[in-house]
Amino acid sequence: MKVRLPDGKELELEAGATAREVAEALGGRWPKQAVGAIVDGELYDLLKPLPEGAVVQLITKKDPEYQHLFRHTLAHVLAQAVREFFAKKGYPPESVKLGVGPVIEHGFYYDIDAPEPISDADLPEIEKIMHDILKRDLELRRYELPREEAIRRYQGVDPYKVELIQDIPENEPISFYEQEGFTDLCRGPHVPKTGMIPPHFKLTHVAGAYFKGDASRPQMQRVYGVAFRSKEELKDYLWRLEEAKKRDHRKLGRELELFLIDPMVGKGLVLWLPKGNIVREELMRFMREEQQKRGYQLVTTPHIGSLELYKTSGHYPYYAESQFPPMELEDEAYLLKPMNCPHHVRIYAFKKRSYRELPLRLAEFGTVYRYEQSGELHGLTRVRGFTQDDAHIFCTPEQVKDEFKKVIELTLYVFDTLGLKDFRARIGTRDPNSDKYVGDDAHWALAERQIQEAASEMGLEYTLEEGDAAFYGPKLDFVVNDALGREWQLGTIQVDYNLPERFDITYTGPDGEPHRPVMIHRAPFGSIERFMGILIEHFAGEFPLWLAPVQVAIVPITDRHHAYAEEVKKALSAAGLRAEVDQRPERMQAKIRDWEKQKVPVILVVGDREAEEGTVAVRDRRKKERYTAPLAEVVQDLARRVRERRLE
């Protein structure tokens, strides 16, 4: 057989040769340094036979693909270690049954059905056995078996593997990887020896997982691990993991009394507590102000709509699985509103429109409802009822690009104001091989071109994501990195030629004839709930002054200072600041500690001297400063910081 190298050179090899034989044929450093290969664009290990005529590029430990190889092999090492762990307890190897063990972001996992439950307390011992397997430097061997023989191997021993074999298409080989004391059904790829795995890994936790993700199937235990090339990378990741736990918006939401999800109210339905509602209202006020500066008109629409409305828009049945079921009332069917856009289309359509009215920008903080599966619900970031900062721009085809650029500008301004400076943009286009999209090809091509031109003219770097478009049009998404480097998809902007067509809306052009408008859908926040969850974690609950529920806490040193403390509060309130006086019969230091735990940005301490001089002792949490200053000066400074929505 022949294979080609990236430089075009051809190698003649024995039939069934692997990348290992390529390394040996090249000689020099390759036999010792090669850990795998890129074969016709696909990652191979050194053990899998190469196809005839393939282009083969060898990789070493310096290449990024190495990380995938050793993480995959670590999943096998984990499964072997679990079997050895239970063998020490007297269980035979076949008592530990195995599902799948893939590579995931930052690491790996394995789904396991063990004779006894695996607890987090068991992980250090399993981890110790894994390190021992690495030290044994076990060599991996790959081989294939006919389907019937492969099934017989697991029949009556491991039903999960039997089913996984049965799922493999008839034209695919059934391959196994074996290392001393352990064999697993696997497509690969892997490192050739366990000793080539960096020892910088950690098992993080155990969770329940249904076989194949089907709640009607047996529940297994999923053991998660993370793995990196270096000790420093592992240390940094574990630090971020611990920091993420501290910043968890569900934990902080309860501690700071921001929001509540009550089982009696319903899963995925948010109750905003007074302090959380202040933050929510401040965000909405910020967006309203910016929208009104840019010519948006505010509207309000109901929480339900006729099923016919969503059939016309195409949201039903396209998204039927993620919607609450229709309600039948008096021979009419209604649906909890899954989207705001059809309602805005009907507002546009209520009277004849002229080109002189366009662009028409309709905005709403509209609450919508989606039926997320119980297992997918997560605090504020995955809920069943949420409010979008939704707007729809109706414009002429010639206005699309300029309007799109203005929405990009607004989105970037929002991110900058909130300190979300690390982000990337991606343009979702349609998959030409999919039938889920509606509308004609010409409109799709035009919309995709307009989005790309607008992004480029705004100096926005972006990636193209084929198949990521909405069913009715392409879109631009903003993916933001928070303070811990985690990615969150936030703002989205979409061009839509299809809804105006489906609803048959028009405007009268300069020629006196009817023309079809174009819609731009946009939501810089995405949803208030999700955005709040991300902000809580990004700021670790320490909101900037303008967003903080309580902006200033006033701590009188003793009871006789209460009167002056109330004067201070009155001055702050007159300037529009949210302030509270702590009149509890506690020691001053205890009061200060409590307010610091509540992450209040500014604490003002007042005593005899302050009352006499008309000053306050300032503890500024965000500026990390302490100083004494005249009350009027402090009020003026704080009011200016709030007015300018400054981050410090």
CB of 499 closer than 8 Å to CB of 446? no
- Active site residue: 122, 341, 353, 591, which one? 341
DSSP-derived secondary structure for 2-29: EEE-TTS-EEE--TT-BHHHHHHHH-TT
- Count of C-beta atoms within a 10 Å radius of residue 452: 17
What DSSP state is assigned to residue 218?
Answer: P
Q: What 3-state DSSP class applies to 138?
A: coil
CA separation, residue 146 to residues 155, 165, 176, 183, 188 (Å): 14, 10, 11, 16, 17
> How far apart are alpha carbons 110 and 325 in whole angstroms?
36
Q: Mark whether 475 is an active-site residue.
A: yes
The secondary structure element, H or E, covering residue 272 is: strand 271-272
Strand partners, 208: 221
- Active site residue: 72, 361, 384, 392, which one? 392
The amino acid at 218 = P
Backbone angles phi, psi at 64, to 5 degrees: -60, -25
Q: Mark whether 388 is an active-site residue.
A: yes
- Residue 341: left (phi > 0), alpha (psi -120 to 50), or beta? alpha
- For residue 428, the Cα-to-chain-centroid distance in whole angstroms is 16
The secondary structure element, H or E, covering residue 275 is: helix 274-293
- Active site residue: 406, 475, 530, 561, which one? 475
- For residue 17, the Cα-to-chain-centroid distance in whole angstroms is 42
Tokens for 186? 């696997």
The secondary structure element, H or E, covering residue 392 is: strand 385-395
Q: Mark whether 341 is an active-site residue.
A: yes
Backbone angles phi, psi at 617, to 5 degrees: -90, 115
Query: Cis omega (within 30 of 0) on the bond before 6?
Result: no
First to last CA, the chain: 66
- Active site residue: 390, 482, 582, 620, which one? 390
- Active site residue: 57, 80, 179, 388, which one? 388
- Active site residue: 48, 71, 76, 521, which one? 521
Tokens for 48? 């899998």
Q: Mark whether 578 is an active-site residue.
A: no
What DSSP state is assigned to residue 548?
Answer: -
Q: What 3-state DSSP class applies to 16?
A: coil
> How far apart are alpha carbons 600 and 592 in whole angstroms?
10
CA torsion sign for 334, 336, 342, 347 is: positive
Contacts by residues 50-53 (CB-CB < 8 Å, ≥ 24 positions apart): 50/1, 50/3, 50/13, 50/17, 50/18, 50/19, 50/22, 52/1, 52/2, 52/3, 53/1, 53/2, 53/3, 53/4
**Residue 234: is it exposed, middle or buried by C-beta count within 10 angstroms (0-12/13-18/19+)?**
buried
b/e sequence 333-349, b meaning 16+ C-beta within 10 Å: ebbbbbbbbbbbbbbbe
CB of 333 closer than 8 Å to CB of 310? no
Tokens for 638? 């704080």
Q: Mark whether 390 is an active-site residue.
A: yes
Q: Mark whether 184 is an active-site residue.
A: no
The amino acid at 219 = Q
Tokens for 435? 């039938």
Query: Cis omega (within 30 of 0) on the bond before 189?
Result: yes
CB of 146 closer than 8 Å to CB of 174? yes
Backbone angles phi, psi at 244, to 5 degrees: -65, -35
The residues annotated as belonging to the active site are: 341, 370, 388, 390, 392, 475, 521
